[in-house]
Every structure is written in structure tokens, then in C-alpha cells.
């Protein structure tokens, strides 16, 4: 969203909503608390295995995955969908470029960019709370409090995007060992799922891995929709934006459901329409705006869903 428009929205809204943030804090805390202990029932090697279990165990070995101390979530999807940005936003970190100065650090940000940025899989943990001596700590009153974000037993894996020469979709599932994860998050930048997403979903379903679909970059739909609905010169009010954002979320979910119809998956993946940008902005901002809240709530619900999926998987001990 261009800055003048965003500034106009902020001016139009004024002080934020206290009710909104407290509900969101509740949702995040609830999810965090559940994932703040090592996962129960770490899957053990078995003598007799079905081919699916074998696939999972081989994939975990290949990734050297710690399934005893961590819940492992894989973020997959097509190139440029916003996977790495999503991972940074979730962990309340700013984006960085993949330049010569970048050094991978498990607690640091994932590099982001328009052109095939994530080349190799990398795993990330949630950074510990910031101390007040951190020069950036004024940006976030939230992350200073470790109680709020207690995801210390969560490992989030940033997986290279598919659909490139180096990562063709046909071999993506196997090559990236997607069967290994407690839950996969398929990130897409458009709500009508294309060939890549459909192929990945079918492979995921065959392996019986849980998957959640996240349609990212929904902030990009706000301005075109406003222009179409209200014309170039109209300055939309808060309730106009609320309507538009609600429409964007609902339309994205319906488009995904339609795209799933002929795939005949055995699971019905939950779908969330988000803006990785808006969530992070909302969490960082001292003054919360009602506008960002709508996308932000999708994030809260997403966390809850992810937690439940991980719990279910561990209950099954696979």
C-alpha cells in the first residue's frame, strides 16, 4: 500500500482498539503456552513400518530433524509467495536481504527478496525476548515479554520455493523431505491455487501430513479494490476499509475452496488470508489500528490451528 494512503488510513482511525489486541494476545499466548514444552510422544523407530511411516522416518533422518525437543513446521510453496517474510513476521523480526553481509543465525531473520531468495532449507527458532539495551526494543513492547511469545520448542523451516529450474515442482515434495514435518504451511500469493500448489497439496495428502493453506500479500488487494469500488478521488473511511478487508478475506477463502474441489483430498485444509506485512506492523506499533486488526486476527487463528494440528500429530505418535 503506498505510504500516503496508509498515512491517510492511520489518520482516519486514530487510537487503536484495546479489545482487539487483548483478544489477539489471548490467542497468541494460548498457542505459545501449548508449544512452550517439548512435544509429547516423540516418534520412535519401529521394527515394522508401513511405507508412509518409512517415508516420514527417512525424511527426518535426511533433515537431521530434532523431533524430541521441537515441533517442526515446514513453510513451503511457490517461489516468491512470501514464505520467508511470513516466517520473519511470525517471529516479529524485520526482513533482511540475501547479500554478502547476510549470515545465517537460527534466531535471526530469514533473507527475503523478489527473485529466488531461499536457495537451501534453513531452520529458525523464535528469538528470545529483547532486552531494553537493544536499540530496537522501542519498536516492540511485545517481544520483550517472553511470556507472551513462548515458542521455544518450535522450529520453523524455511523451504526454497518451487517452480524454478533448481526446484521443479515434480520432485519438490521428495527432495525437500516434506513428509518429515509435524505440520506444513503452504503459502501462496494468489487465492486461485495454481498448478504448483495443487501438485504439492496432492503429494502432501498422499503422505498424510497435515497442511494449512495461507494466502499471503492480501494487503496488495486493498487499494485496487478501493479504487474500483469508490473511484479514484474518494477517501475511504474506516468502515469502508473494514468492508473491503472482510471481502478480501472471504473472497480468498472461497477461491481456495473452489480450487480444492476437484483435488479430492482426504483432509480439508484450513485456509487463512493474511498479510505478513500487516501482522508485523500491528505487533510492532505502539498504537494499534483497527484496520490492521482484521488481517491480524487471521494470524491469531492461524497460530491456534497450527498448534492444534501439531498436537493431533503427536497424539498419533507418527
Q: Pick one of 31, 80, 88, 117: the residue that binds Mg ion (CB under 5 A).
A: 117
Per rule CB under 5 A, is residue 118 in the interface with Mg ion? Answer: yes
Nearest-angstrom CA–CA distance, 106 and 126 = 8
Q: What is the CA radius of gyration of the chain?
A: 20
Detail the DSSP E strand segments found in 152-303. 154-158, 183-188, 211-215, 271-273
- Separation CA 141–CA 309 (nearest Å): 29
Binding residue for ligand GTP, selected from 91, 153, 177, 217, defined by CB under 6 A: 217
- 216 lines the binding site for ligand GTP (CB under 6 A): yes
Nearer to Mg ion, 117 or 307 (CB): 117
Backbone angles phi, psi at 267, to 5 degrees: -110, 155
- The partner in contact with residue 307, picked from Mg ion, ligand GTP, none with C-beta cut-offs of 5 to 8 angstroms by kind, is none
259 binds ligand GTP (CB under 6 A): no
Residues 6+ apart with CB under 8 A from 312: 210
Closest residue to ligand GTP, judged by C-beta, is 161
- Cα 124 to Cα 221: distance, rounded to the nearest angstrom: 30
Site for ligand GTP in 102-121 (CB under 6 A): 112-114, 116-118
3-state secondary structure (DSSP) of residue 158: strand
By DSSP bridging, strand 271-273 and strand 211-215 are: parallel
Residue 142 buriedness (CB in 10 A; 0-12 / 13-18 / 19+): middle
85 vs 140 by CB, closer to ligand GTP: 85
Residue with smaller CB distance to ligand GTP, 39 or 77: 77
Q: Is 81 in the site for ligand GTP (CB under 6 A)?
A: yes
80: contact with ligand GTP by CB under 6 A: yes
Q: Which of residues 118-137 bind ligand GTP (CB under 6 A)?
A: 118
With cell 527473485, the residue in question is 115
179 exposure class (CB count in 10 Å sphere: 0-12, 13-18, 19+): buried
276 touches ligand GTP by CB under 6 A: yes
Choose the stretch contacting Mg ion; rule: CB under 5 A; options: 112-120, 166-174, 285-293, 306-314: 112-120
In the list 31, 72, 80, 84, the residue contacting Mg ion (rule: CB under 5 A) is 84
Tell me which of Mg ion, ligand GTP, none is bound by residue 275, counting a contact when its beta carbon lies within the kind-specific cut-off of 5 to 8 angstroms. ligand GTP
CA distance 282 to 295: 10
With CB under 5 A, what is the number of residues at the site for Mg ion?
A: 4
Q: How far is the CB of 286 from ligand GTP (least distance, A)?
A: 21
Amino acid at each position: 500500500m503506498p505510504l500516503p494512503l496508509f498515512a491517510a488510513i492511520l489518520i482516519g482511525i486514530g487510537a487503536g482498539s484495546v479489545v482487539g489486541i487483548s483478544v489477539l494476545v489471548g490467542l497468541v499466548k494460548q498457542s505459545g503456552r501449548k508449544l512452550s514444552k517439548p512435544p509429547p510422544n516423540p516418534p520412535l523407530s519401529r521394527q515394522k513400518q508401513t511405507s508412509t511411516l518409512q517415508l516420514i522416518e527417512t525424511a527426518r533422518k535426511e533433515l537431521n530433524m530434532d523431533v524430541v525437543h521441537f515441533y517442526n513446521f515446514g513453510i513451503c510453496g511457490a517461489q516468491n509467495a512470501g514464505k520467508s517474510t511470513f516466517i520473519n513476521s511470525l517471529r516479529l523480526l524485520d526482513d533482511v536481504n540475501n547479500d554478502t553481509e547476510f549470515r545465517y543465525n537460527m534466531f535471526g531473520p530469514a533473507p527475503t527478496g523478489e527473485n529466488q531468495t531461499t536457495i537451501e532449507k534453513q531452520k529458525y527458532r523464535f528469538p528470545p525476548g529483547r532486552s531494553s539495551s537493544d536499540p530496537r526494543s522501542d519498536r516492540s513492547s511485545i517481544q520483550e515479554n517472553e511470556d507472551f511469545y513462548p515458542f521455544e520448542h518450535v522450529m520453523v523451516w524455511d523451504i526454497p520455493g518451487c517452480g524454478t529450474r533448481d526446484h521443479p515442482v515434480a520432485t519438490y515434495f521428495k527432495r525437500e523431505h516434506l513428509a518429515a514435518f509435524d505440520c506444513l504451511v503452504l503459502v501462496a500469493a494468489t487465492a486461485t491455487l495454481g498448478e504448483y500448489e495443487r501438485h504439492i497439496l496432492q503429494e502432501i495428502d498422499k503422505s498424510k501430513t497435515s497442511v494449512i493453506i495461507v494466502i499471503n500479500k492480501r494487503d496488495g488487494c486493498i487499494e485496487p479494490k478501493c479504487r474500483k469500488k469508490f473511484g479514484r478521488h474518494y477517501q475511504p473511511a474506516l468502515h469502508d476499509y473494514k468492508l473491503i478487508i472482510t471481502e478480501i478475506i472471504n473472497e480468498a477463502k472461497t477461491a481456495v475452496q473452489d480450487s480444492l474441489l476437484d483435488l479430492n483430498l482426504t483432509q480439508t485444509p484450513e485456509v487463512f488470508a493474511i498479510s505478513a506485512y500487516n501482522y508485523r506492523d500491528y505487533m510492532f506499533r505502539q498504537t494499534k489500528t483497527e484496520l490492521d486488526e482484521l488481517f491480524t486476527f487471521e494470524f491469531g487463528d492461524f497460530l491456534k490451528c497450527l498448534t492444534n494440528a501439531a498436537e493431533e500429530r503427536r497424539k498419533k505418535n507418527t
